[in-house]
Structure 1
Amino acid sequence: MEILVPIDGTDASKRALDFAIRMADGMSATLHVVHFTNKETDATDAILDDARSRLKDAGYPAESELTTIMVDIWTADRVGKEILQLVEDRGFDHVVMGHHEVGTVERAIFGSAAETLLRSEGVPMTVVP
């Protein structure tokens, strides 16, 4: 089984990665971690360093590959569509991602990457609050 974990540095994303690590271990699955951004910054490095640390603490090799994918328009809906495309292109079996609660106005304007995947109904996924 191939599990994809999109991360964004939020607490929900960190909980999702921790959950996915346990899930992958329990299922002898392969874990793939990806971060989407429109500009690589020190924050990007911090997000990836945190993920590497979590993977290392769980016994994954220190050189575990994490992917950064650049997107031109930075909205949750756009990121959700990019995740769907990545799943289709690479044939991931499952997606684990965090979802942080936002207000009605923010959801109406920005949407949610997790909700975009849930609405697609074609991607098995686990949403970690």
Structure 2
Amino acid sequence: MKKILVPTDFSQYAEYALQAAASIAKKQDATLSVVHMLGLSEAVISRDESKKALEGLYYLKLAEKRFAEFLDKEYLEGITIETAVENYTVFSELGSIAEKRGADLIVMGSHGSSGWNEVFVGSNTEKVVRTSNIPVLVIKGPSVGFSMNKAVFVSDFKEANLHAYRQAMKVFKLFNTELKLLYVHLPGEDFKSTYEIEDRIVSFLSQSGLDDAHHIKNVAFINDYTVENGVFTYSKKIGAEVIAIPTHGRRGLSHFFSGSITEDIANHSKLPVITFKI
């Protein structure tokens, strides 16, 4: 991992993300790319010598000053940091900015307790998770010394999730993470027998093309009334530090489960959540 992108609005939750990103950067010898999304209109940032141009210059200078204060932290010592002010039309462009800057991971802060009310305006964390081809790590609280020693990857193990699974395995291998695979068995019309589910998982793991460690015996099965409850119960039971979820780019956060399971988990989880695009 060479570069980690951290979008910031200089708030408390943005600093939580910075703390986590700093811990990762030290372990991976990675550069932090800290980006402030300014959001000015093209008229304000135009070269025309006008009041609007002067206003744009004012905001740029103010951002530079706030960067100096925001990055004056002991836990950042020894880390290579680059800063930038990026203008944007929609916040979903952050994924493209991360790709342009060569980032391997986006780390964002979020309240997440009530419908993605996070440090950024509106539902911007959701927009980034939905559109980014780069993995997104969502941080919920103070994260100095952040680690991913143990993680849960939840899936229904359908073929559509293979790309996300391979992405997750690549990231967790870098961290020597002890990974637990999880299938949550729900009551209802889509009920499958144990043998049917096991056959699907065996096929999925075989198609992944990964090593022999990815075996049906390494998959945990839990019965619950919702995927969300099942994930939280199991994560607490094994002492997981991170929850990993595949996510679709369509219809908000609809993905490998019906409904908005990824959104529910990311909103209500007390643990950091890392998402991988299907």
Question: For 1:83, what is the secondary structure of its paired residue?
Answer: helix
TM-score (norm 1): 0.73
8 Å contact from structure 1 (residues 93, 124) kept in 2: yes
1:48 equivalenced with 2:91 (yes/no): no
Q: Find the aligned partners of 1:87 and 1:123 in 2 and give their Cα distance.
A: 8
1:93 equivalenced with 2:110 (yes/no): no
Q: Find the aligned partners of 1:65 and 1:121 in 2 and give their Cα distance.
A: 21
Q: Find the aligned partners of 2:114 and 2:100 in 1 and give their Cα distance.
A: 33
Select 1:65's aligned residue among 76, 79, 82: 82
Sequence identity, in percent? 27
Partner of 1:14: 15
After TM superposition, the structure 1 = structure 2 runs for residues 104-123 of structure 1, keeping only pairs within 5 Å, are 111-120=122-131, 122-123=133-134
Q: Find the aligned partners of 1:18 and 1:9 in 2 and give their Cα distance.
A: 13
Which sections of structure 2, spanning at least 5 residues, go unmatched? 41-55, 141-278
Q: Find the aligned partners of 2:7 and 2:123 in 1 and give their Cα distance.
A: 13
Partner of 1:33: 34
The count of residues paired between Structure 1 and Structure 2 equals 119
1:102 and 1:43, CA in 2 relative to 1: closer, same or farther beyond 3 A? farther
Which structure shows the bigger proportion of residues in helix conformation? Answer: 1
Q: 1:121: how far off? A: 5.7
8 Å contact from structure 1 (residues 4, 96) kept in 2: yes
**CA RMSD, aligned part only?**
2.9
Q: Which has the higher contact order (CA 8 A, sep 6+)?
A: 1
8 Å contact from structure 2 (residues 6, 32) kept in 1: yes
Partner of 1:128: 139
Question: For 2:63, what is the secondary structure of its paired residue?
Answer: helix
Which sections of structure 1, spanning at least 5 residues, go unmatched? none
